[in-house]
Chains A and B, each alone.
Chain A
Amino acid sequence: MEDEGEGVRAVPLAGHVGFDSMPDQLVNKSVNRGFCFNILCVGETGLGKSTLMDTLFNTKFEGEPTQHNQPGVTLKSNTYELQESNVRLKLTVVNTVGFGDQINKEDSYKSIVEFIDAQFEAYLQEELKIKRTLHSYHDTRIHACLYFIAPTGHSLKSLDLVTMKKLDSKVNIIPIVAKSDAIAKSELAKFKIKITSELVSNGVQIYQFPTDDESVAEINSTMNSHLPFAVVGSTEEVKIGNKMVKARQYPWGTVQVENENHCDFVKLREMLIRVNMEDLREQTHTRHYELYRRCKLEEMGFKDTDPDSKPFSLQETYEAKRNEFMGELQKKEEEMRQMFVQRVKEKEAELKEAEKELHEKFDRLKKLHQDEKKKLEDKKKSLDDEVNTFKQKKTAAELLQNQAQQAGGSTTLKRDKERKN
């Protein structure tokens, strides 16, 4: 490709061309596709996570409260289709069930980290597929993590610090003070300062609302200073004046959720949804996901350049690994084949043995049989001989008897003759 050597210079237009419609074209395409937004709520049981979600999105998400009888920390994820004017949003809310309930909380953060990683992994798998459909892929990566801090009024719990430290490189963390109507206003300011300084001193990177775009820089930087947001959630409505407002009613007064003097709910909604939703999504994709991808690929042994500074392509390394894998596969196949052949040989030998034995047995039996037969024949022969002898004797005896009779007859004749004479 030859460049004219002018570089890229700005050129004025002599009239209306019409590409100022590009943002509209882009937005229309996105509207057709729909949007995805995934929020993870991390916090101990009873801090009002579900209620806050209901309040934020103005709907009742779950039918019944979650069961809290599982042994470890489980993550429960629900996806909802919301629509406002022409925008369709696929909202996924993930709740940590059982967080902080265990006696030993050392491993509490693990299932959360695993869950976040699993979503990155799923996306990475899709991205690395040969035939892939990225544009219609349902993105489940977590775009925002709302970390619910218990309203103790003192400081962060060590569980909170440990968990947030483990999560800050994987997800955009927005810390909030839950059920903040439990803290008096004077204590709240101190609490917020304590939390912020603890986060800073422990090196926890929470999500900063972006200040590079001039149209939102001012409001974002103001909001950054209000973190963590002290929120109150409620789906119950109370009549104040002549309007129905979301509020929590106490004997001593009513906390109005959307009253900025009472709590920071409106600020949270403004930042999370109305101003920075897109930025949260972009940070997730370009920072957290890229980090995950880089680590994962390096772990698997892929490199961009080798020591000779010749750039490896992922493809080549991929191929090399594949060949290695193939080689191993073939080796295994060979082994299996060998084993199979061996087994066959052995079995064959066994069978041959058995056959031989059988033959021998047969021969033996046959011989036995023949011997018996011979014996019997001999016996029969001797018997026959006896019979013959006997017969002979009998015949001889009969002959003698006949002769004797004849002789006797002739003797009688002789006597008779003698008488006559």
Chain B
Amino acid sequence: LTDAIPHHPNPQGKGEKSHGGDFSYVGIDAILEQMRRKAMKQGFELNLMVVGQSGLGKSTLMNTLFKSKVSRNKSVQSNPEERIPKTVEIKSISHDIEEKGVRMKLTVIDTPGFGDQINNENCWQPIMKFINDQYEAYLQEEININRKKRIPDSRVHCCIYFIPPTGHCLRPLDVEFMRRLSKVVNIVPVIAKADTLTLEERDSFKQTIREELRANGIDVYPQKEFDEDAEDRMINDKIREMIPFAVVGSDQEYQVNGKRLLGRKTKWGTIEVENIAHCEFAYLRDLLIRTHMQNIKDITGSIHYETYRVRRLNESNGHVISQTSDHMAVQPKANGQLEEQPGALQANGVAAQHEALSHEM
């Protein structure tokens, strides 16, 4: 009987109780295995957005990250007029990928046309709108009376922002974009095509970028305020000292020292993408996929989405609440319990938040 059930590897099975003295195995920790089973059955969803000027290697990086053609390279468009759009477009491609029994629906959202115009004013707006539209779609489904068992999650979990490897400092466009979007989505900035920078140039560039981010109050992922505990903080501090990651992407394999590795072959050498001595692609991959993927999704769901939801639900009620919040407390009604709650809660600081959010766009 017991062999048929895959138990969580814990051979002794002896547990400590905070209550009572027996040491026989109850089996509470079997829930971990049950959760794992459920997760494997349901599969996962991940929505990544890439933002940056054309030619910075966005598609290549995505393909390198996921070791498959998940993003279409724009430069192979046959029609030259189509190459650079007049405005920022949002193009979303989804793929089902599977690894060791774990299924994932990966959606890569490309933003061709960003930063490519002569006048780039407000080029972030279509992107902001797209992100907010996804939150809106989720909210609409969530507040339905008859709602789906699993609300399809199209919210952007992470936005990878490509900084051109100028080696100097952030451009006003970079600052403006990241400042606005860091408030609604997790931003992971990367230095694109980092193989044009020497290590010293890279370090000084990174330092400048970090200082500029700090000076402009831009909170990129992982945000300091969402560190859960000391252990988290320690891990994330290390990451924060390294961002932005200087990455190189490639979907070509070359023979290096008898091994086939992803890289870029030049006359002066082959840059190995997954070699941390050459570039920081591996760190980016580990952060995004191997260690912090769940955390990225959690922050999107429990913080960015909730922020959007609060703002949205307050929108029409803003001015009315301040007048009647006192009255609401005085008038208990049978079915008014529902409406009363928001009123009572409005009183604490939501007005301030409403203000803070209103000048987003």
Residue ranges of A at the interface with B (Cβ–Cβ < 8 Å) = 1-4, 6-32, 35, 56-61, 80-87, 89, 125, 128-132, 134-135, 213, 215-216, 218-219, 266, 269-270, 273-279, 282, 286, 290, 293-294, 297-298, 300, 302-304, 313-315, 318-319, 321-322, 325-326, 329, 332-333
Cβ-closest chain B residue relative to A319: B316
Of B30, B46, B310, the contact of A275 (CB 8 Å cutoff):
B30
Q: Which residues of B contact A304 (CB under 8 A)?
A: 144-146
Q: Which residues of A contact B144 (CB under 8 A)?
A: 304, 314
Q: How far is the CA of A52 from the CA of B17 in the complex (A)?
A: 18
- Whether the Cβ atoms of A278 and B130 lie closer than 8 Å is no
Q: How far is the CA of A86 from the CA of B29 in the complex (A)?
A: 7
Q: Which residues of A contact B95 (CB under 8 A)?
A: 8-11
Q: How far is the CA of A270 from the CA of B30 in the complex (A)?
A: 10
Q: How far is the CA of A2 from the CA of B293 in the complex (A)?
A: 25
Q: Which residues of B contact A14 (CB under 8 A)?
A: 67-68
Of A3, A17, A219, A333, the contact of B99 (CB 8 Å cutoff):
A17
- Whether the Cβ atoms of A313 and B143 lie closer than 8 Å is yes
- Whether the Cβ atoms of B28 and A219 lie closer than 8 Å is no
- Whether the Cβ atoms of B96 and A10 lie closer than 8 Å is yes
- Whether the Cβ atoms of B94 and A8 lie closer than 8 Å is yes
B27 contacts A by Cβ under 8 Å:
yes
Q: Which residues of A contact B333 (CB under 8 A)?
A: 325
Render B50-89 as a binary contact track against A, CB cut-off 8 A, 1 for contact.
0000000000000001111110100000000000000001
Of A13, A25, A134, A300, the contact of B338 (CB 8 Å cutoff):
A300
Known contacts A22-B44, A85-B15; 9 additional CB pairs below 8 A are A1-B154, A3-B94, A13-B67, A18-B286, A19-B46, A35-B31, A125-B338, A216-B37, A275-B5
Cβ-closest chain A residue relative to B8: A85
- Whether the Cβ atoms of B26 and A58 lie closer than 8 Å is yes
Q: Which residues of A contact B19 (CB under 8 A)?
A: 59-61, 80-82
Q: Which residues of A contact B286 (CB under 8 A)?
A: 18
Q: Which residues of A contact B196 (CB under 8 A)?
A: none
- Most chain B Cβ neighbours within 10 Å, of A2, A24, A56, A278: A278
B117 contacts A by Cβ under 8 Å:
no
Q: Which residues of B contact A31 (CB under 8 A)?
A: 32
Given A8-B95, A314-B145, A329-B331, answer yes or no on A23-B346 (Cβ-Cβ < 8 Å): no
Would you list the 6 A-B pairs with minimal beta carbon distance, nearest first?
A: A59-B20, A84-B15, A314-B143, A25-B294, A278-B34, A274-B27
Cβ-closest chain B residue relative to A28: B294
Residue ranges of B at the interface with A (Cβ–Cβ < 8 Å) = 1, 4-7, 10, 15-20, 22, 24-32, 34-41, 44, 46, 65-70, 72, 89-102, 104-105, 130, 133, 140, 143-147, 149, 154, 228, 285-286, 289-291, 293-295, 298, 302, 306, 309-310, 312-314, 316-317, 320, 324, 327, 331, 333, 335-339, 341-342, 345-346, 350
Q: Which residues of B contact A17 (CB under 8 A)?
A: 65-67, 97, 99, 285, 289
- Whether the Cβ atoms of B96 and A58 lie closer than 8 Å is no
Per DSSP, are chain B's interface residues mostly helix, strand or loop, or mixed?
mixed
Of A18, A29, A59, A219, the contact of B17 (CB 8 Å cutoff):
A59
Cβ-closest chain A residue relative to B96: A10
From residue B233, how far is it (CB to closest CB) to chain A in Å? 14
Q: Which residues of A contact B24 (CB under 8 A)?
A: 58
From residue A20, how far is it (CB to closest CB) to chain B in Å? 4
Q: Which residues of A contact B312 (CB under 8 A)?
A: 315
From residue B145, how far is it (CB to closest CB) to chain A in Å? 5
Q: How far is the CA of A340 from the CA of B148 in the complex (A)?
A: 52
Q: How far is the CA of A278 from the CA of B32 in the complex (A)?
A: 9
- 23 A-B pairs with C-beta separation under 8 A: A2-B92, A8-B95, A13-B66, A18-B286, A19-B102, A22-B39, A22-B104, A22-B294, A29-B298, A32-B228, A58-B20, A59-B20, A85-B15, A130-B342, A131-B345, A216-B4, A270-B1, A298-B145, A322-B317, A322-B320, A325-B336, A325-B339, A333-B327
Q: How far is the CA of A318 from the CA of B143 in the complex (A)?
A: 11
From residue A229, how far is it (CB to closest CB) to chain B in Å? 14
Q: Which residues of B contact A266 (CB under 8 A)?
A: 1
From residue A285, how far is it (CB to closest CB) to chain B in Å? 10
- Whether the Cβ atoms of B298 and A83 lie closer than 8 Å is no
Q: How far is the CA of A337 from the CA of B140 in the complex (A)?
A: 40
Q: Which residues of B contact A18 (CB under 8 A)?
A: 99, 285-286, 289-290
Q: How far is the CA of A218 from the CA of B130 in the complex (A)?
A: 46
- Whether the Cβ atoms of B96 and A294 lie closer than 8 Å is no
Q: How far is the CA of A412 from the CA of B7 in the complex (A)?
A: 168
Q: Which residues of B contact A12 (CB under 8 A)?
A: 68
Of B6, B31, B68, the contact of A11 (CB 8 Å cutoff):
B68
Cβ-closest chain B residue relative to A269: B27
Q: Which residues of A contact B143 (CB under 8 A)?
A: 313-315
Q: Which residues of A contact B316 (CB under 8 A)?
A: 315, 319
Q: How far is the CA of A360 from the CA of B174 in the complex (A)?
A: 88
Of B46, B66, B314, B337, the contact of A130 (CB 8 Å cutoff):
B314
Q: Which residues of B contact A7 (CB under 8 A)?
A: 94
Q: How far is the CA of A331 from the CA of B26 in the complex (A)?
A: 60
